Amino acid sequence: MNRLHYIAMRLVKTALVTIAVVVLSFFLIRLAPGDAATVMAGQSGYADEAFVKSLRAEYGLDRPLPVQLWKYLGAVAQGDLGTSYARRMPVLEVILQRLPNTLLLDAFALVVAIAGGVWLGGLAARRPGSAGDAAVTVLSMLFYAVPQFWLGMMAVLLFAVWLAWLPPFGIETMGADYTGLARVADVASHMILPGMTLALYYLAGYARLTRTAMIEVAGQDFVKTARAKGIREGQVRRRHILRNALIPLITYAGLQASTLVGGSVLVENVFSWPGIGTLAYEAVTARDNPLLLGIFIVTAILISLFNLVTDIAYSLADPRVELA
């Protein structure tokens, strides 16, 4: 089938999914007792019945739910995600401020995880059952099993507190006002700890997956054919074994990218990384429903797009897969 046609169809589906997400989360959020008006009234330090009521009227919370939903859907369709109660700012603006930080951290973690995992897995697969294989297996089990927030805290303790090599939190040194390359270096040094904490967990997965896939592919007939052709061993491993073994990794990478866009709430919070994860956490604690809904919508759209990219990448890597 025509690739453009396929992509257009998928975008239509993405829109449908987004609408479903909006409707579902709209009702889900309102299942919790109390509303933003009570929170705001509480924060203001003065709350009688009349004040809460006036707040509800101001934000349209006194209308019937279907009416609220309809108004909200109409606004979303025009790109207006509403106003954050807590920040008194357009939701979209708040999200767009934070989103690049999360994407930056995720991209770093993804690249480190894939490069490191594939390399380690390839190493382990070279001689299954050897000491090197056992070491990689144990190491990846460890990374897989250790809770991320704990690993993060230990990393802060070791590299930021004791060794003082890296900054413990934030995205840049506060008040330093670096520009140009100095700023890039500053952000990079802040990114290493949270990035590595995120990456190690996924790296373990890639290592396990690569190892298994490479061992399985190495036993297939076409690898024997490649050797029977008199090709050098390195080329047999790269062109024939690794190339086929990488196909299942695409699915895994797609899934990982999808989970990461929602922001890793734990890791971002441990390192006070100003991303979507911390934003979601703040929105929940402040009962900032418009912000929370906005985050849901933006991440739903991004996840759909990542899935689309995964499927296209899959069809490019494996000629047997057709987009349909």
Partner 1 sequence: MLVSLRDLRVALPPGADRPLAVSDVSLDIARNEIVCIVGESGSGKSVTAHAIMGLLPRGVVTTGGSILFDGVDLLKEPPAALRARRGRDIAMIFQDPMAALNPVVAIGGQVSEQIRAHRAIPESLALRQAGDLLSQMGLKDVAGLLKAYPHQLSGGQRQRVMIAMALSLSPRLLIADEPTTALDVTTQAQILKLIKAIQAERQMSVLFITHDFGVVADIADRVAVMRHGRVLESGPVAQVLGAPAHPYTRALIAAVPRDACALPPLPQAAPLVRVTGLSKRFRRGGLFSRRADVAAVDRVSLILNRGETLGIVGESGSGKSTLARCVIRLLDPDEGAVLFDGADIARMKARGLRPLRRRIQMVFQDPFSSLNPRRRIGDILTAGPRAYGEEAGAARARAAEMLRLVGLNPQAMDRFAHEFSGGQRQRIGLARALMLKPDVLIADEPVSALDVTVQAQVLDLLDDVRRRMNLAMLFITHDMRVAAQVCHRVMVMRHGRVVESGPTREVFAAPSSDYTRALLAAIPGCGRI
Please compute Rg for the chain using Cα positions: 24
State which residue, 47 or 247, has the beta carbon closest to partner 1.
247
**Can you say whether residue 180 is alpha, beta or left, with left for phi > 0 and alpha for psi between -120 and 50 degrees?**
left
Shortest distance (Å) from residue 214 CB to partner 1? 14
Give the relative orientation of helices 289-317 and 276-285 as an angle to the nearest 10 degrees.
Answer: 150
- What tokens were used for 44? 């203001």
Shortest distance (Å) from residue 119 CB to partner 1? 21
Yes or no: say if 289 and 89 are a contact pair by the CB < 8 Å rule: no
Shortest distance (Å) from residue 50 CB to partner 1? 55
Shortest distance (Å) from residue 127 CB to partner 1? 10
Shortest distance (Å) from residue 126 CB to partner 1? 12
State which residue, 103 or 231, has the beta carbon closest to partner 1.
231
Looking at residue 158, what DSSP letter applies?
Answer: I
State which residue, 150 or 222, has the beta carbon closest to partner 1.
222
State which residue, 43 or 235, has the beta carbon closest to partner 1.
235
Q: Say how many CA atoms lie within 13 Å of 226 toward its Cβ.
A: 18
- What tokens were used for 315? 């069809």
State which residue, 71 or 227, has the beta carbon closest to partner 1.
227
Q: CA quadruple 90, 96, 98, 99: dihedral positive or negative? A: positive
Shortest distance (Å) from residue 12 CB to partner 1? 9
Q: Which residues bind partner 1 (CB under 8 A)?
A: 1, 5-6, 9, 220-222, 224-233, 235, 239-240, 243-244, 247, 317-320, 324
- What tokens were used for 63? 């209308």
State which residue, 225 or 285, has the beta carbon closest to partner 1.
225
Task: Return d(Cα 238, Cα 122) in angstroms, integer.
Answer: 10
